[in-house]
Homo-oligomer: A and B are copies of this chain.
Amino acid sequence: MPRTRKLFSIRIAIDMSSSDPGSTGFSAFDPATGEALDADFPIATWAVLDELAGNAAAAFEVGAEADTVAAFLEAYADRIDANAASLAAVAARETGLPEEGRLKNGEIPRTSGQLRQAAAAVRDGAWARPTISDGNIRSILEPLGPTVVIGPNNFPFAFNGVCGGDFAAAIGAGCPVIAKGHPHHPATCRDLAALMKEAAKAVGLLDGWVSFFYDCTPEDGLKLVRDPRIAAVAFTGSQRAGLSIKAACDETGTVGHFELGSVNPLFILPGALEERAEEIVDELTTSALLGGGQFCTQPGIVVLPAGEATTKFASQLQEKFDAAPTPPLLSEAVVTGLEEGTKTLRKAGANVLPSAPSPDEPGYRYPNTVLAVPGERFLEDPNAFQTECFGPASLLVTRTDAEQRLAIARTLHGQLTATIYSDTHGADDAEYGPLAAILRRRCGRLLNDKMPTGVAVVPAMNHGGPYPASGHPHFTAVGIPASMTRFTRLACYDNVRNDRLPAALRD
């Protein structure tokens, strides 16, 4: 995940007028040109955040009926679908992502679908695991309370704090949400927040149950996280920002859920390389460069066996990378992050395979980059080689043998995904077992013969993984209803009179 704080310090210096008299304002940038967009947006003062927290806590004390919550999710989904074209146009301008295929017909239906799946889970109720035991002891998952949701820059809809997966999960669990916008796509957030408010009003959701602010200073953000009125935080983004929020949560006992990035190691076993190298080159190129490579599950490390086939694979991959377009990236910070990340890899001993020169188109660009390092060198400094290069860059770890592949697997940090390509005739079977036994414990999702990008919103999905890929390996950020349980506490009722029990626990 890219870092956003560097730009932030520039932006905060622009003292623009805004609706909030105490704040300074900021503008977003057009990734295709690098130029500031014309609208300006306020940075919330503490007074604003304080009011949002107070309203959310007051609303939560009153509570909301499950039916109202479900109706809100559906009403919001309907409004997002109805406004898909204009939302996609605004988001495309702010993110540089393709308006039709990616945003209007990809992310937006996925986003409204997530909201509707959460609504269905709320109406069904089984997700909360109502349990009745002998002795009139009963338990159920109940909402934690006001939740701050902070989304990343790379999914202006599906992971947006104001409408994405964490928003749907927290609302579905029964929590009020205070959504933070992303400074790289404020107009998108503004339009979504307006639809959110409209939907809330239409179904009669309590004032303060859903609220939104564009941005705040890091200090005020941490103050909000530590505030006793805030019960939970969900964060997707850079490891640097995420870990500072996690530290604040750890200190106060606030429940925090963090998705912090991953290099998504992919192991290609010898039989698979022999059987279908060209096919895999194609699949890898598509997956690694999709959306400018700006996915949490982009395959950033590819482990290949020693031999001629790998040399050919690397050269074919490099050709494909060079021939592929270099779309505008989400922000200057993504470009800076790639420069820093690839520098770290090179300093540790990786070579950049010969590639086309830096794109001379305007805007935030970076060449599609293949790096390579022999397995024995990787093992000398495995931490450095796991530096995330968020964007269109992948590191090939070459010249490995079976023993080295196991050794590399053992050095891996917690990952969202790990992937093994093996042949279809059994040549790789002996190696698969021991390698998978190591990898599956270091990742949230283990794949066979399939690239890790593309996270289906199905109940069995896990978009999470051992630390530092996420904050806790028991929970998933994608996949309803499991993602909803992240925003719950276990509530037990012992000898409580029947008419005082939550409806789902009554006789």
| Contact present for A458 and B133 (CB under 8 Å) | yes
Evaluate whether A255 and B472 lie within 8 angstroms (CB atoms) in the complex, with A137-B460, A250-B250, A460-B133 already known: yes
Q: Which residues of B contact A134 (CB under 8 A)?
A: 456, 458
Partner of A135 from the list B436, B437, B458, B467 (CB cut-off 8 Å) is B458
Partner of A500 from the list B132, B436, B479 (CB cut-off 8 Å) is B436
Q: Which residues of B contact A449 (CB under 8 A)?
A: 495
A356 contacts B by Cβ under 8 Å: no
Q: Which residues of B contact A113 (CB under 8 A)?
A: none
Partner of A61 from the list B142, B144, B438 (CB cut-off 8 Å) is B438
| Contact present for B137 and A458 (CB under 8 Å) | yes
| Contact present for B133 and A462 (CB under 8 Å) | no
Q: What is the distance, in angstroms, from A418's C-beta to the closest C-beta of chain B? A: 10
Q: Which of A83-91, A280-288, A439-447 contacts B (4 or more CB under 8 A)?
A: A439-447
Q: What is the distance, in angstroms, from A265's C-beta to the closest C-beta of chain B? A: 14
| Contact present for A489 and B460 (CB under 8 Å) | no
Q: Which residues of B contact A145 (CB under 8 A)?
A: 441
A131 contacts B by Cβ under 8 Å: yes
A323 contacts B by Cβ under 8 Å: no
Bound Cα distance A482, B491 (Å) = 12
Q: Which residues of B contact A438 (CB under 8 A)?
A: 61
Bound Cα distance A327, B63 (Å) = 46
Complex interface bits, A487-501 against B, C-beta within 8 A gives 1, otherwise 0: 011111111110010
Evaluate whether A490 and B467 lie within 8 angstroms (CB atoms) in the complex, with A437-B63, A458-B133 already known: no
| Contact present for A489 and B461 (CB under 8 Å) | no
Q: Which residue of B lies closest to A134 (CB)?
A: B458
| Contact present for A461 and B255 (CB under 8 Å) | no
A276 contacts B by Cβ under 8 Å: no
Interface centre among A252, A467, A471, A492 (most CB of B within 10 A): A492
| Contact present for B253 and A447 (CB under 8 Å) | no
| Contact present for A131 and B253 (CB under 8 Å) | no
| Contact present for A461 and B496 (CB under 8 Å) | no
| Contact present for A445 and B250 (CB under 8 Å) | no
Number of A residues near B (Cβ < 8 Å) is 70
Q: Which residues of B contact A473 (CB under 8 A)?
A: 144, 255, 489-490
A313 contacts B by Cβ under 8 Å: no
| Contact present for B446 and A493 (CB under 8 Å) | yes
| Contact present for B491 and A459 (CB under 8 Å) | no
Q: Which residue of B lies closest to A472 (CB)?
A: B255
A161 contacts B by Cβ under 8 Å: no
| Contact present for A137 and B461 (CB under 8 Å) | yes
Partner of A253 from the list B437, B468, B475, B496 (CB cut-off 8 Å) is B468
Bound Cα distance A138, B246 (Å) = 29
Q: Which residue of B lies closest to A493 (CB)?
A: B446
Q: Which residue of B lies closest to A140 (CB)?
A: B460
Bound Cα distance A61, B439 (Å) = 11
Q: Which residues of B contact A447 (CB under 8 A)?
A: 494-496
Bound Cα distance A42, B69 (Å) = 58
Bound Cα distance A217, B480 (Å) = 45
Evaluate whether A474 and B490 lie within 8 angstroms (CB atoms) in the complex, with A250-B250, A466-B253 already known: yes
A432 contacts B by Cβ under 8 Å: yes
Q: Which residues of B contact A452 (CB under 8 A)?
A: 494
Bound Cα distance A254, B467 (Å) = 8
Complex interface bits, A136-153 against B, C-beta within 8 A gives 1, otherwise 0: 011101101100000000
Partner of A496 from the list B444, B448, B467 (CB cut-off 8 Å) is B448
Q: Which residues of B contact A476 (CB under 8 A)?
A: 490, 492
| Contact present for A445 and B492 (CB under 8 Å) | yes
13 CB contacts below 8 A, A to B, read A133-B458, A135-B456, A135-B458, A137-B461, A139-B462, A247-B250, A417-B494, A433-B500, A436-B500, A445-B493, A448-B495, A448-B496, A462-B491
Q: A246-B250, A253-B468 known; 17 other A-B pairs, CB under 8 Å?
A: A139-B462, A142-B440, A142-B441, A252-B467, A436-B500, A445-B494, A446-B493, A446-B494, A446-B496, A448-B500, A452-B494, A461-B492, A465-B489, A474-B485, A474-B489, A475-B490, A476-B490
Q: What are the nearest 10 A-B pairs in CB distance? A: A253-B467, A473-B489, A462-B492, A133-B458, A133-B460, A445-B492, A250-B250, A139-B460, A450-B495, A131-B460
Chain A residues in the interface with B (C-beta under 8 A)? 61, 63, 131-135, 137-139, 141-142, 144-145, 246-247, 250, 252-255, 414, 417, 432-433, 436-438, 440-441, 444-450, 452, 456, 458-462, 464-468, 471-476, 479, 482, 485-486, 488-497, 500
